[in-house]
A and B are shown apart, each in its own frame.
Chain A
C-alpha cells in the first residue's frame, strides 16, 4: 500500500512538476557585450512575453513543459531558444547579432503586452505609453481615443472630468494606480492630472474587473501602471503651451548595490486656462436694460477665473530585489492644488473669484514579493493613510459677467447658492486604505488569487460663515467599506484556454448625520450596514495563433463614495439611506491579431459586444434649474453595445487605427421614486453620448537627419455624434437642448536624438479650432500648441 501511495505521489509530483509553470530569467546583450533594453522575449506560438528592462534583464513566465523562446529586437536578428523546466534555476545569457533588416518592433511589444492581458478573458485594452510619453498629452486624451471609452471634460487643464466605459460612467468607473484605488490620493494625483511621463502602461477593464484590482468597480476600471524598473535613472520634462500652460516633471530612481532604493516623482502644472468662449451661455447684460448681449466667434470672451495650479511630490524609500522583498517602500505623497471656478453648471453663470483649493498628505507602505516562503506564492500589500483638506472659497460680494468686470454687489456675498451667503467651507477627509493581494500557484496549472481591500473615510468640516443647513457637515460623518475577492485561474491546452472564476464580497458601513430641529438643532446619526455578494468568470480561447475569442460576466456591486453618501456641504446633500449600486455585466469579443497581409503589412481587428443591467443606480437629483442636489438610488439602466477596433500597420513605420462604439442604453425604471409609472421607461439615456468613433495615424521613422534618431508623428481625430441633454422622447425634436456632433483633430510630432536622452515634441490640440462641448453649454478649449522637451538619463 505504501509503495502504491509512494508511486502515485511520485507520479503526481512528476506530473505537477511538468505541468507547473516556471520562470526563466536572464540577460540579453549585443555583439559588443552591452546589455540591451527593450528586446522582446516571446514564447513562440503565443503572444505571451516580456521585454528586457533597462539593464537588458528579463524574467518570463513559462506555462509549463518545453517551449521555444523568441528574442526579437530593433535592428537585431531574431533568435530562438528551446527551454524546459530545467532552466528554472539558471540564468540565461543571450547574445544577439545586429541586423540591418529587422526594424522597430515597438508595435509588437505593445500588442504583446495587450494581448497578454486580453488572454485572461477580460474585456480589456492595454495602452503602452512608451511612444507617446514624450508628447504633451493628457492621459484623458489618450484614453479617449480607445474604443468604448469616452472622457467628458467641463473645461481646460484641471477641469472636472467624467469617464464612460462601454456605457457606464461616473463613479461606476474606478481608477487605480498600481492596483491601489486612487480615490484617496487627492485631485492632484488623479488620472486627470498625472503627467503621462510617469506612466508606463494603462489597463482599461470594461465592465468585468478582475479580483486583483480589488474594489467595487461597477462599470469598469482603469489601472495606471507606473515604472517598475529597478535601474537607476533620471527623467525630466518641461512643456509650455497655449493659455500660459506649463508642466514640469522630474522623476528618478537611485538604487545602491545593497538594494537600498529611493524614488522621486514630482510634477508641477500651471495653466491660466484663459481660452476663448462664445455663443450660447456667453453673454453679459446691458448695464441699463439688462438685455443679454452675446459674445461671438469674432468677438469672443476670455475665461478669467479658471487658472489651475498643482504641485505633487511622491518620495519612496526602501529596498528592491532583496531575498525577502522584491519591493519594500515607505512612501510619502503630498500635493497642493489651487483652481479658479469660472462657471456654474453652464456658462450662463459666471464666477469671478470663487476658488477650490486642496491639500493632500498621504504616507503609505508597499510590499511586494514573488515566491514568498514557497515557490508560487506571490504577495502584494499596501497600507496608507490619507489626509485631504479641500476648501471652497466663495466669500466675495462682487458679481461678475463674461467681460470679467464687476457688475454689482451682493450684500450677503457668495457667487453660488442662488446669491445666498458667503462660504469658506473646508472639508477634511481622514482615510485609511489597506490592500492585501496574494496569488498562489496550485497543482495542475491552477492559480489561486485572493484580494482584500479596506477603506474608511472620516469627513468633517468647518466654515466661519456656516449657515444652519451645513451643521450636519461640520460634525464627523463616516463611511467604511470592505472588499474581499477570491479567484481561481488556469490556462490549459498549451496555453490556448484561459479561465478565471471569481467570487467577491462587499460590505458598506456608514454613519451619516441628519439635522432635526424641534426647539433647537439636534444631530441624529443614521447608521447603515449593508453587504453584497458578487462573482463571475472570464475566459478566452485561442482558436488560431492569432484569433482569440473571449467572454466574461460579472454580478458586481459599487459602494457609495464619500461624497455620494456624506455630501459635500456645498451643493450636494448627504443621504443617510443610500444603498450600493449593482449591475450584471457581460462581454463577448474576439481579437484577430495581428493578421499578416503581406511581408510588411498587418492588421489587427478586435470586436466586442456587451450587456449591462444596472439596478439601484445612484443619480444626483438636482432641483429644477437650481444647484442643490442629493444622490439617490432610483435608476435602473439596461443596455448593450458594440465596439470595433482596427489597427493596420505597414512596415513597422505606419500605423492606422480606427475604432467605433455604439451604445444602446435605456432607462429601465418602470416606476419612479414615488411609485408612479415612468413615462420615459425605455428612453435612451439622456445626456449620454452613444455613437463615437476615433481615427488615428502614426508614423515612425528611424535615422531621420541623424543616425539612430527617431521621428514620430501622429494625427488623431475623434468624433462624437450629437446627443440630447434631456429625455429624447419628450418635447419636440426640433427645439430640444443638444450637445452637438463634433469632430476634433489633434496632431503632433516628436524627435528623439541619437543619444536617446533628449526628445523634443510639438503638439497641436483641436487643430481646426472647433467649438467643442462635452457637456451642455460648457465649452472646451480651442486650438492650442504645446512644446515639450524630455531629458532622460538611464544608468
Chain B
C-alpha cells in the first residue's frame, strides 16, 4: 500500500514535471520572452511627429504616448531578435535600438547618406531576420536607391542604385519589394514619369536575383492595372507555402486621374517565380466602386484589407475620415468578409505585423470617436472580433503595430 502510494506519488510528480517541462518548452520554442513591457510596439503619428511605445498587453487598459514612449518613426522600422531598426530620416540615420524594460537604448547607427543620395529611404524590411533591405522610389533616371544591411555585424553589405527596366517607354514610378526563394520581387507602377499618366494597362512586377540583384525579369499580369507596390504598406506578401500575393491600387484619388479607375481591385498570385492565373476580384464583392489602400497578411492564408468606397473619397482629406472598412480575405477559399468593425481611417497604418495565437490585432481610430486595439479571430466571421486596449485616439494616429517577441 505504502509502495503503491509512493508509486502513485512518483507517477504524479513525473507527470507534473513532464507537463511543466513541456509547457516551458512550448514557451521557449514558440515565444522568446523579451524584457518586461516590450512584447509589442505601437507607433503613432501626431501632427507629423513620430512616437512609439511598447507594451505586453494589447487587450486591457490604455496604451498611450502621453508622458511615455519615445520620439521616432516606428512605422519606418522593423523588429528582429529584440532589436528595433528605425529609419531616422530627420538625421539621415538607420538606428539600432535594444529593447529594454526601461525603454529602447541606442546601440548602433549607420549613415544613410553613405548609402544613398539625400540619406532618405521610404521603406525598411527584414529579410529572413538576417538582413535589412532599405529602399525608396525610383529617381528620375528610373533607378532605385537601396541598401542591404547585415544584422549580425550591422553593416552595409550592398548599396547603390538598382536600374529598373523600362516597358514600352514607360518608366518605373514606385516600387516596394519582397524576397522569396532567392529572388526579390518589386511590385511596381509603370507610366510616364513626367505626368504620372499613361499608366501600364496591366499589373507589373520586376524580379531580380537576390542578393546579387541581377537578372531583372519583368512579370506581367493582365488581371487588372495599377500599382502593385503598395502605398504605405507593402503591396506584396509571402505566405507560408512561398506564394506571393499582391493587391493593386486603382483609386483615382491616388493617381490624380481616372486612367485605371475602372479596373478592378484584385489579389493576384506569383507562384514559382511568375504570375499564375489566380485572381481574386475584390471589386466584384461590392456593389459600388472600391479601392484597396492597404492589406496585411495574418497567416494561414488570411489577409486583411483596408477597403474604401470610391464615392466616399471626394478629396484626399476624406481618407482621414471614417471612410475605411476592414475586409477579411481568405486567399485560399477566395471568401471575402467585410467586418463589422467601426469604420475608420486605416490608410496610414504602415506596419501591421501582429498575430498571436491565431489572432490578428489592428488599431481602429474613429475620427471623432473611440480608438482601440481590436483582436480579430481569423475566420471568425463579420463579428469575430473583440475590443481591446484603449488608444489615445484624437489626432494620435497609430501607424504601426508589430510584435517584438
Q: Which residues of A contact B (CB under 8 A)?
A: 280-281, 283-293, 345-346, 348-350, 399, 401, 407-408, 410-412, 414-421, 467-468, 516-521, 621-626, 672-680, 726-727, 729-733, 735-737, 777
Contacts and interface: CB of A to CB of B under 8 A. Distances in A.
Nearest to A777: B91
A726 B153 contact: no
A674 B114 contact: no
Given A408-B117, A679-B396, A737-B71, A674 B321 contact: yes
Contact of B114 (A401, A467, A729): A401
A-B CB proximity, top 7 nearest = A285-B114, A285-B111, A419-B117, A289-B155, A348-B91, A410-B117, A625-B89
B195 A468 contact: yes
B349 to A, nearest CB: 14
B396 to A, nearest CB: 5
B118 A419 contact: yes
A415 B117 contact: yes
B116 interface: yes
Contact of A731 (B69, B140, B156, B257): B69
Contacts of B67: 729-733
A287 to B, nearest CB: 7
Given A289-B153, A411-B161, A284 B114 contact: yes
B48 A623 contact: yes
A419 B145 contact: yes
Given A291-B154, A468-B194, A735 B93 contact: no
Given A401-B113, A412-B139, 18 more contacts: A284-B114, A285-B110, A286-B114, A289-B156, A348-B93, A414-B117, A415-B118, A418-B118, A420-B118, A624-B89, A625-B73, A674-B320, A676-B394, A676-B395, A729-B66, A730-B67, A731-B51, A731-B71
Interface residues of B, number: 68
Given A401-B111, A677-B394, A520 B195 contact: yes
B196 A468 contact: yes
B109 interface: yes
B143 A411 contact: yes
A730 B46 contact: yes
Contacts of A285: 110-115
B70 A731 contact: yes
A408 B161 CA distance: 11
Given A411-B161, A731-B51, A419 B91 contact: no
A290 B196 contact: no
Contacts of B342: none
A420 B140 contact: yes
Q: Which of B67, B92, B257 has the most CB of A within 10 A?
A: B92
Contacts of A729: 66-67
A718 B85 CA distance: 39
A412 B368 contact: no
B220 interface: no
Nearest to B255: A517
7 contacts: A290-B115, A407-B113, A411-B141, A414-B117, A467-B140, A732-B67, A735-B70
Given A346-B91, A412-B141, A624-B73, A291 B108 contact: yes
B49 interface: yes
Contacts of A517: 195-197, 256-257
A732 B54 CA distance: 12
A215 to B, nearest CB: 30
Contacts of B145: 419
B48 A621 contact: yes
A285 B118 CA distance: 13
Q: Which of B69, B119, B197 has the most CB of A within 10 A?
A: B119
Contacts of B76: 625
B395 A674 contact: yes
A292 B367 contact: no
Contacts of A622: 48
Nearest to B145: A419
B29 to A, nearest CB: 34
Contacts of B51: 730-731
B103 A727 contact: no
B142 to A, nearest CB: 9
B65 A626 contact: no
Contact of A727 (B49, B113, B320, B368): B49
A632 B359 CA distance: 41
B395 A624 contact: no
B256 to A, nearest CB: 5
B68 interface: yes
B68 A291 contact: no
A401 to B, nearest CB: 6
B241 interface: no
Contacts of B120: 418-419, 626
Contact of B49 (A467, A730, A733): A730
B49 A284 contact: no
Contacts of A283: 109, 111
Q: Which of B111, B136, B367 has the most CB of A within 10 A?
A: B111
Contacts of B111: 283-286, 290-293, 401
Contacts of A519: 197, 257
B392 interface: yes
Interface string B30-62: 000000000000000111111100000000000
A292 B194 contact: no
Contacts of A417: 118
Given A621-B48, A672-B47, A291 B140 contact: no
Nearest to A416: B118
Contacts of A680: 46-47, 395
Given A679-B394, A731-B51, A411 B118 contact: no
Interface string B165-205: 00000000000000000000000000000111100000000
A61 to B, nearest CB: 52
Nearest to A466: B194
B311 interface: no
Contacts of A733: 67
A731 B65 contact: yes
Interface in B352-380: 367-368
Q: Which of A348, A414, A415 has the most CB of B within 10 A?
A: A348
Interface in B123-172: 136, 139-141, 143, 145, 147, 149, 153-156, 159, 161
A626 B197 contact: no
A126 B245 CA distance: 70
Contact of B116 (A280, A346, A419, A677): A419
Contact of A679 (B46, B113, B114, B156): B46
B113 A349 contact: yes
B280 to A, nearest CB: 30
A518 B88 CA distance: 36
B393 interface: yes
Contacts of A411: 139, 141, 143, 161
B154 A625 contact: no
B114 A287 contact: yes
Contacts of B71: 726, 730-731, 735-737
A332 to B, nearest CB: 41
A399 B194 contact: no
Contacts of B393: 676-677, 679
Q: Which of A621, A624, A729 has the most CB of B within 10 A?
A: A624
A292 B93 CA distance: 8
B110 A290 contact: yes
Contact of A407 (B114, B367, B368): B114
A399 B47 contact: no
Nearest to A420: B139
B90 interface: yes
Contacts of A415: 117-118
Nearest to A417: B118
Interface in B74-124: 76, 87-93, 103, 108-120
A292 B155 CA distance: 10
Nearest to A724: B71
Given A289-B156, A730-B66, A675 B118 contact: no
A676 B156 CA distance: 42
A513 to B, nearest CB: 15
